Amino acid sequence: MYSENGNDRGETLREIKEKVNRALRRNADGLSGGSTAPERDPGKPGPLWDSLRRDPGKPGPLWNSIRRLTASGKGSPHKGRGGGNPGAGGTGSTAKSRREKRVSWTFLSLSLAGVLLFFVLPFMVVIYYSLIDNPVRHRFVGLSNYGKVLSNSAFRLAAANTLKFSAVSVPLAVGLALLLAVVMEKRIPWKSRIRSFFLSPLMVPTASVIMIWQILFHYNGLVNVWLGRFGIDRIDWLKSSYAQVPIILLFIWKNLGYNMILFMAGLANIPRDQIEVARLESASEFQIFWLIKIRYLSSTILFVTIMSLINSFKVFREVYLMAGDYPYDALYMLQHFMNNTFRSLDYQKLSAAAVLMALFMIVVIGVLFVSEDRFGQDLE
């Protein structure tokens, strides 16, 4: 069928067409031969159908031609694509795959170089500083700096306040954002305006927001005025056990719109047919939400939780602008400890605290990944 002297695809198709025409003519001769040709049983196939329905283990020439033209990755009638040799296509495909990998790694190399230069290498330097006595003598002291950090009362206070803040603010930010996304999925009036309202904190400078918060939560601020109407005594919000309340509200207000948009994107990717089938089966809205939507949102929930957790550890700027370097004990965060340690040039203690914080984040994020993998594995 395929000659070795490089027949083009047009010639091959013409040969197939001629064979099909000859088979059709033989079929016509068999049906219109009059008394000289025996009458063919209608249930018995003709030669053309025989050639097409032939056992794949023993294909005829016509079937071979069609299968070779329609098969992908198993050779080609062109010499440049394998020269009719069925095994040559695999070699070409492998070479193409290797070429695509080289191009991909070429484009990724710049990003990888940036990550190694600006993230991995500095972190290795931090680990090295955490294991020596000071940057001048470079004497190895092992885990001594970690012991000093863990026994430091300021570090323990900062770690406890940061964990308390994250444990309260992150679930609230994720849960409220998911609730708003589900509500925004419905047909409600002024949907675009409401969405813009929740996204507005992303466009407001932090210093302006802090000024508004100071007016609201001042001892003589609007919040205490409103509470006084209900007979509640005034609260010194930034110098009492309630000091984290304004920061938690600020954190939620700033991150709510961004998290809501992520959840809305996740909800839009849920297959509509499964929700329609569930409704036809008389499933309640809560069952649809819990058994279908939450399952498909597992990866989105993981991403939003990780981003909110990271942002909760970076809340230092807001607290610093509201309460300064040494705020009330309830507002003393890990970033305060690191900032004050850096100002005292205690690099060993600062490096050890940074490594401990990074290890804690790695463990928490690893637990979240394992939980998401087990929760959403039935969707794969």
Backbone angles phi, psi at 292, to 5 degrees: -115, -60
Contact 84, 75 (CB under 8 A): yes
Please report which confidence band the pLDDT of residue 282 belongs to, taking 50, 70 and 90 as the band edges. confident
The closest alpha carbon to 373, from 301, 265, 307, 309, belongs to: 301
Residue-level pLDDT at 146: 93
Average pLDDT over every residue of 120-145: 90
Q: Which CATH number fits domain 145-379: 3.30.390.50, 3.40.50.300, 1.10.3720.10, 1.10.490.10?
A: 1.10.3720.10
Q: At what angle do helices 153-185 and 191-199 cross, to 10 degrees?
A: 170
Contact 168, 251 (CB under 8 A): no
Give the Cα separation of 61 and 51 in Å (integer).
Answer: 8
Residue 346 φ/ψ region, left for φ over 0, alpha for ψ in the -120 to 50 degree band, beta for the rest:
beta
More confident residue, 220 or 62: 220
**DSSP-H helix ranges across 32-87:** 47-52, 61-70
Element (H or E) spanning 83, and its range? none
List CB contacts of 380: < 8 A, sequence separation 6 or more.
none
pTM (predicted TM-score): 0.68
226 DSSP 8-state letter: H
Give the Cα separation of 297 and 16 in Å (integer).
Answer: 53
Scored b (16 or more CB within 10 A) or e, 209-245 reads bbeebeebbeeebebbeeeeeeeeeebebbeeeebbb
Please report which confidence band the pLDDT of residue 69 belongs to, taking 50, 70 and 90 as the band edges. low
Residue-level pLDDT at 1: 43
Structure tokens at 161: 């306040």
Q: Say which residue the tokens 């109407």 belong to.
A: 229
Contact 257, 200 (CB under 8 A): yes
312-370 pLDDT per residue, tens: 988 888 888 888 778 888 889 988 899 889 888 888 999 999 999 999 999 999 999 88
The closest alpha carbon to 64, from 47, 52, 49, belongs to: 52
Structure tokens at 147: 């012991």
Give the Cα separation of 16 and 268 in Å (integer).
Answer: 49
User: What distance lies between CA 341 and its chain's CA centroid?
Assistant: 35
User: What distance lies between CA 95 and its chain's CA centroid?
Assistant: 31
Residue-level pLDDT at 112: 92
| pLDDT score of 38 more than 60 | no
How many CA atoms does the CB half-sphere of 106 hold within 13 Å?
A: 6
The domain spans of the chain are 9-86, 145-379
